[in-house]
C-alpha cells in the first residue's frame, strides 16, 4: 500500500479581532479554502509528498538516439577494372605437347615390349632346364632300378682245320676306339686317364670319339670272335666294373682287331 501524504494542517480560525467585518470575511474565506484543500488531498492519495513550488520542475526527456544510417552496398567493380582472363595455350603449343606425349608413350611401349620378349626367352630357357633336370633324374632312377645287363654268350672258340695254322696276332695289336658323350666333362676326364694306361699295356688308341648318347655302364665291345680274348684282357686291364659285350652281329662290321670302350657320364 502506498503511503498517503499527511494532510496539510487546517487553518485555524483567527481570533476575532476588533477590525470589523473585513477581518471576519477574510477569516471565513481562509477557513473555507483550508477545508476544501484538506478534502481534496484526502480523496486523491499521492505516492509521494507534493513538493513545493520550487521543486516542481519537469525532468528532462531522455535523449532520443538517432536512427541508424542505412547500409550502403559496396560499389560494384566496373568491368574495366576486372583482371583479364588467362588465355589458353596456342594451337602450336598444344601440338608440341601432344607430340611429346606420343613420343613418351611410344618409348614406354618399346620398353615394355623388350621386357616381355626377355621374359618369354627366360621362361623358355627355364622350361628347357626343367626338362633336362627331369630327364636326368629319370635316367638316374632307371639306372638305379635297372637289373644288371645281360651279356651275350661268350664267343665260341674257332676250330680251324689241322692243315691251317691259326694266325698269331701280335700282343697288343688291337686298335681301341674310346667313345664318350659330347659335352660330358666326367667322361672326358676318364678318357684322359685311361689313354696312358692302355698305351702302357700295349694297346693302340686309335681315336677318341664324341657321340650323342652312351650306355649307363662301362663296357668293352668286340666285333669278331677272334677279338674276344683281347677284349677280356682289355677289360681286365681297366679294372673291376667293366662289362664285355658281343657285337658280332653288328652291321656294318668293322675290321678285325677293333675294340671299343664306351664311357658313361659318371
Residue 18: give the domain boundaries: 1-47
Clarify whether residues 123 and 179 are in a common domain: no
pLDDT of residue 6: 56
pLDDT of residue 150: 47
The reply to whether 151 falls in a domain is no
The reply to whether 57 falls in a domain is no
pLDDT of residue 3: 52
Chain Cα centroid distance, residue 12: 123
Q: Above 50 in pLDDT, residue 221?
A: yes
**pLDDT above 70 as % of the chain:** 60
Clarify whether residues 188 and 239 are in a common domain: yes
Q: Above 80 in pLDDT, residue 27?
A: no
Neighbouring C-beta atoms of residue 195, cutoff 10 Å: 15
pLDDT of residue 21: 63
Between 16 and 68, residue with greater pLDDT: 68
What's the whole-number mean pLDDT along residues 247-254?
88
The reply to whether 225 falls in a domain is yes
Q: Above 60 in pLDDT, residue 86?
A: yes
Tens digit of each residue's pLDDT (9 = 90 or more) over 111-170:
999 999 999 999 998 998 898 888 888 888 877 665 555 444 444 443 434 443 334 444
Q: Above 80 in pLDDT, residue 54?
A: no
Cβ 222 vs Cβ 246: under 8 Å: yes
Q: Above 80 in pLDDT, residue 53?
A: no
Q: Above 60 in pLDDT, residue 4?
A: no
Structural domain total, the chain: 3
Between 12 and 206, residue with greater pLDDT: 206
pLDDT of residue 176: 92
Clarify whether residues 130 and 198 are in a common domain: no
Q: Above 80 in pLDDT, residue 71?
A: no
Clarify whether residues 133 and 207 are in a common domain: no
Averaged confidence pLDDT in the chain: 74
CATH of the domain at 254: 3.30.70.2390
* DSSP code of residue 245: E
Q: 109 pLDDT band (50/70/90 cuts)?
A: very high
**Residues 105-126 as b or e (16 or more Cβ within 10 Å = b):** eeeeeeeeeeeeeeeeeeeeee
Tens digit of each residue's pLDDT (9 = 90 or more) over 189-198:
888 888 888 8
Q: Above 60 in pLDDT, residue 11?
A: no
Clarify whether residues 245 and 181 are in a common domain: yes
Q: What is the DSSP string of 124-165?
A: HHHHHHHHHHHHHHHHHHHHHHSPPP-PPPPPPPP---TTSP
Neighbouring C-beta atoms of residue 217, cutoff 10 Å: 15
The cell for 6 is: 499527511
What's the whole-number mean pLDDT along residues 220-243?
89
Among 73-77, 98-102, 141-145, 213-217, the least confident range: 73-77
Examine the fold and report which residue of 89, 124, 144 is the final residue of a domain before the chain moves on. Answer: 144
What's the whole-number mean pLDDT along residues 24-34?
73
pLDDT of residue 159: 42
The cell for 249 is: 652281329
The reply to whether 155 falls in a domain is no
**pLDDT above 90 as % of the chain:** 20
Amino acid at each position: 500500500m502506498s503511503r498517503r501524504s499527511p494532510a496539510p494542517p487546517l487553518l485555524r480560525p483567527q481570533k476575532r479581532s476588533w477590525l470589523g467585518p473585513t477581518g471576519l470575511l477574510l477569516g471565513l474565506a481562509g477557513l473555507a479554502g483550508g477545508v476544501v484543500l484538506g478534502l481534496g488531498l484526502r480523496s486523491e492519495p499521492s505516492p509521494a509528498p507534493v513538493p513545493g513550488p520550487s521543486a516542481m520542475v519537469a525532468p528532462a526527456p531522455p535523449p532520443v538516439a538517432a536512427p541508424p544510417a542505412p547500409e550502403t552496398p559496396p560499389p560494384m567493380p566496373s568491368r574495366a577494372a576486372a583482371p583479364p582472363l588467362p588465355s589458353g595455350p596456342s594451337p602450336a603449343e598444344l601440338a608440341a605437347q601432344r607430340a611429346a606425349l606420343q613420343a613418351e608413350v611410344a618409348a614406354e611401349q618399346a620398353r615394355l615390349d623388350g621386357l616381355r620378349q626377355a621374359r618369354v626367352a627366360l621362361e623358355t630357357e627355364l622350361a628347357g632346364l626343367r626338362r633336362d633336370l627331369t630327364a636326368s633324374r629319370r635316367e638316374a632312377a632307371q639306372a638305379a632300378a635297372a637289373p644288371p645287363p645281360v651279356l651275350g654268350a661268350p664267343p665260341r672258340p674257332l676250330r680251324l682245320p689241322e692243315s691251317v695254322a691259326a694266325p698269331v696276332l701280335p700282343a697288343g695289336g688291337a686298335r681301341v676306339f674310346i667313345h664318350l658323350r659330347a659335352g660330358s666333362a666326367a667322361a672326358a676326364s676318364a678318357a684322359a686317364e685311361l689313354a696312358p694306361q692302355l698305351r702302357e699295356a700295349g694297346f693302340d688308341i686309335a681315336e677318341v670319339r664324341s657321340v650323342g648318347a652312351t650306355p649307363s655302364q662301362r663296357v668293352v665291345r668286340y666285333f669278331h670272335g677272334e677279338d674276344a680274348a683281347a677284349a677280356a684282357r682289355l677289360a681286365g686291364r681297366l679294372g673291376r666294373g667293366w662289362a664285355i659285350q658281343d657285337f658280332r652281329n653288328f652291321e656294318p662290321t668293322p675290321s678285325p682287331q677293333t675294340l671299343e670302350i664306351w664311357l658313361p657320364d659318371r
